[in-house]
Amino acid sequence: MKYIKPEVISLKKSNEFNEKWLQARIEEDPSIIGLGELDFRDTEKILVGGGRLDTILYDAEDNRRYEVEIQLGKTDETHIIRTIEYWDLERKKNPQYDHCAVIIAEDITSRFLNVISLFNGFIPLIAIQVKAIKVEDSISLFFTKVLDEVKFELLEEDIVSEPSDRKYWENRASKKSLKLVDDIYQGLSEVMGDFNLKFNKHYIGLENNDKANNFTSFIPRKSGIIVRIKMEKNDEVDDLLENSDIETLSYDKKWKLYRLRVNESDLQDNLEMIKNLVAKAKKEYHN
């Protein structure tokens, strides 16, 4: 194995590998920035009051949105102000999510870190430094988190159901997780009746006679799926889930959703419980 000295490329000075190029790479695969298995939600969003937010990413497991601003070269004061302003506008408009501001820049200076420390405890903000490395005729990106989020509790926009298909979800998640959706759907056939799976861009829901009714919906991940069951929060269900061995995510108060993370190994022992919960949800929300 031979050693090849890599070359650090300045994206700010490059005509080909510019900010739009970097933004596109992040939106193609948000996991490259190192914040987990995130979903791309929006780009170049025009905000009320002016300005365009570069990218919005979403964590379906924690119901959290990341407002991402990209700057080539060094961070500066205007970039900090713009990032915080966009984060503030989004959290006020969509209070049902947790929100976190993210700055991605090639050079995050010590002065920037000193300024950001003034907001410690008040604004959840992550700073990520990106380096573009050229090796022979290939280019790669390396993201390093230099400032982690200070977590911050907020209050609790409905997502437009853009149509999609099975192939989209197999590429976005995995064939294995889609097979798990099939297994759960088939296991719930007695409850589902004439309802079919409806593939949307951000989740897999249910439809009957071309009418959506998502008393249950699924979000496939690369390993496992999130099962969302729509019903009012109540002590009986809370106790049932607490005494089960299935992983329960936080209850979505805004949309009244119990959220369960289900893996293949969970299904056999928990299918009957899931079936009972889905049956209750259908009875409550199927018109």
**Alpha carbon distance 268, 246 (integer Å):** 11
* Per-domain boundaries in the chain: 7-147, 166-285
Please report which residue ranges of the chain form alpha helices under DSSP H. 19-28, 77-93, 110-117, 166-172, 175-187, 189-192, 235-242, 264-285
**Alpha carbon distance 21, 181 (integer Å):** 34
- What pLDDT score was predicted for residue 163? 77
Is the CATH number 3.30.70 carried by domain 166-285? Answer: no
CATH fold of 7-147, please?
A: Trna Endonuclease; Chain: A, domain 1 (3.40.1350)
**Alpha carbon distance 13, 241 (integer Å):** 54
Which of 220, 133, 233 lies closest to 177, judged by CA?
A: 220
- What pLDDT score was predicted for residue 227? 96
Instruction: Tell which wins on pLDDT, 111 or 259.
Output: 259
Please, what's the b/e burial string for 128-141 (b: 16 or more CB within 10 A of its CB; e: otherwise)?
Answer: bbbbbeeeeeebeb
- Sorted by sequence, the CB contacts under 8 Å of residue 30 that are 6+ apart come out as 38, 39, 40, 57
CB 120 within 8 A of CB 89: no
- What pLDDT score was predicted for residue 137? 83
Q: Does residue 156 carry a pLDDT above 50?
A: no
**Alpha carbon distance 190, 176 (integer Å):** 23
- What pLDDT score was predicted for residue 18? 87
- For 176-209, the pLDDT digits (tens) are 999 999 999 999 999 998 999 999 988 999 999 8
Q: What average pLDDT does range 110-126 have in this prediction?
A: 74
CB 246 within 8 A of CB 266: yes
- What pLDDT score was predicted for residue 140? 92
- What pLDDT score was predicted for residue 49? 52
Q: Does residue 159 carry a pLDDT above 50?
A: no
- For 207-234, the pLDDT digits (tens) are 998 888 999 999 999 889 999 999 999 9
- What pLDDT score was predicted for residue 7? 87
**Alpha carbon distance 227, 274 (integer Å):** 9
- For 62-102, the pLDDT digits (tens) are 888 999 999 888 887 788 888 888 888 888 888 888 899 99
Q: Does residue 121 carry a pLDDT above 70?
A: no
